[in-house]
Chain A
Amino acid sequence: MNNTVPDAPRLALLYTRVRVEERMLLDAFESIGVPIEAIDTRSLAFDTTDPEPWTRFYAVIDRSLSLTCSITATRILEGFGVRCINPARAIEVCSDKLASTIALERAGVPTPRVCVAVDEESALLAVESIGYPAVLKPTIGSWGRLVARVNDRDAAEAIIEHRATLGSAQQGVFYVQEFIDKPGRDLRVFVVGGEPIAAIARRSAHWVTNTARGATAEGIAITEELGDLCRRAASTCHADVVAIDLLECPRRGLLVNELNHSMEFRNSVQTTGVDIPRLVAEHAIRIARACRAEVAACR
């Protein structure tokens, strides 16, 4: 074990489950020599009038697996003036596909065309206006869950009815995206502190290319075009650490499909040769140091 860095800033990591990623992050801090307190978000009762337990941290990394936990904790901590990684507003933009689409569109970052409806009948209109095949997704969700390709009107009617009948309230938002006829893979770029640090391509025989769904990943080079696009996408969502998913459209070129605020990287360290958890930890330490300097300057 390394010695502790003498002037280490105080940090915490919030989690709901310690997966491989959280372990890798904690190990990275240990090897750098900066102690970090791992806190189970589920065990906390926040008193919104009492910042005292939190103000000793200069930065808090949120790695909660549950979005509800992430948003709740970061909102409260930011209310106390604690710097969160990622900030609540970044989590809000990344976790909600509609919010991501709006942010990307506003910033002029190319993204697949999207139509949205909140009623069954207008949902069908939304699908028809996108054209077939279309892709219907829950606005909140991950790992390719409930992402459906809609090939014709019959399928559209069936899926819309299922969602309306069986889905939760949040699935009452029909988010319809144009289908991108990508070359059997999608791209994922890891961005830390605004800089793209590593990229992979996820390949699968199925059109859903999530590694959680059995796709295989390989490291790829970050071209200038890819890097620029990802820098813009990352600054749009205000995330310190973000994984950006892109589709290669035969007509429009690179399109940003998705932003992930709590990225998974366990299979990407080997494939890219980039020590992603270490770079994340180093960036978090940089942020914490800067926050400490700011606090000191205010005294």
Chain B
Amino acid sequence: MMPTQSTVQSATCPECEGEIAFQRRPLAGEVVVCVGCSAELEVQTVEPLVLALAPEVEEDWGE
């Protein structure tokens, strides 16, 4: 993990157990990509901070 000056919170990637650093206060539903394994993760809860693999795209998702 690269050191950043402004990490406000961090969590562990459920896929590769690498560190996921947040530069901003995470929001429930926020999507992040793990720099270690490229897994797309979604913030499940903020307190405690829990990440899970983001769900597959559903039929009614989009622009």
Name the one of A17, A40, A141, A260 contacting B59, with C-beta atoms under 8 angstroms.
Answer: A141
Cβ < 8 Å to A, chain B residues 11-57:
24, 27-31, 42-43, 54, 57
Query: Considering only CB atoms and an 8 Å cut-off, how many residues of chain B contact the other chain?
Result: 16
Scan A17-33; emit 1 where CB is below 8 A from any B CB, else 0.
11100010000000000
**A140 near B63: Cβ-Cβ < 8 Å:** no
How many inter-chain residue pairs (CB < 8 Å) link A and B?
54
**B60 near A15: Cβ-Cβ < 8 Å:** no
Closest to A210 in B: B63
**B31 near A19: Cβ-Cβ < 8 Å:** yes
Query: Considering only CB atoms and an 8 Å cut-off, how many residues of chain A contact the other chain?
Result: 29
Name the one of A18, A67, A243, A264 contacting B60, with C-beta atoms under 8 angstroms.
Answer: A67
**A17 near B62: Cβ-Cβ < 8 Å:** no
Decide if A16 is an interface residue (CB 8 Å cutoff). Answer: yes
A256 to B54, CA, bound (A): 33
Scan A58-83; emit 1 where CB is below 8 A from any B CB, else 0.
00000001111000000000000000
**A142 near B29: Cβ-Cβ < 8 Å:** no
Q: Which residues of B contact A42 (CB under 8 A)?
A: 29
**A17 near B63: Cβ-Cβ < 8 Å:** no
Decide if A2 is an interface residue (CB 8 Å cutoff). Answer: no
Q: Which residues of B contact A43 (CB under 8 A)?
A: 28
**B59 near A140: Cβ-Cβ < 8 Å:** yes
In the assembled complex, the CB of B58 is this many whole angstroms from the nearest CB of chain A, namely: 7
**B31 near A263: Cβ-Cβ < 8 Å:** no
**A18 near B31: Cβ-Cβ < 8 Å:** yes
Q: Which residues of B contact A170 (CB under 8 A)?
A: 59
Scan A205-243; emit 1 where CB is below 8 A from any B CB, else 0.
000000000000000000000000000000000000001
A19 to B63, CA, bound (A): 12
Residues of A at under 8 Å CB distance from B? Answer: 15-19, 23, 38, 40, 42-43, 65-68, 95, 138, 140-143, 145, 168, 170, 243, 260-264
Chain A to chain B contacts (Cβ below 8 Å), 8 pairs = A18-B27, A18-B29, A19-B31, A23-B24, A40-B27, A67-B62, A243-B63, A263-B63
* Extra contacts besides A140-B59, A260-B62 (10): CB < 8 Å: A15-B29, A16-B29, A40-B27, A65-B61, A66-B58, A141-B59, A142-B63, A170-B59, A260-B63, A262-B62
Residues of B at under 8 Å CB distance from A? Answer: 24, 27-31, 42-43, 54, 57-63
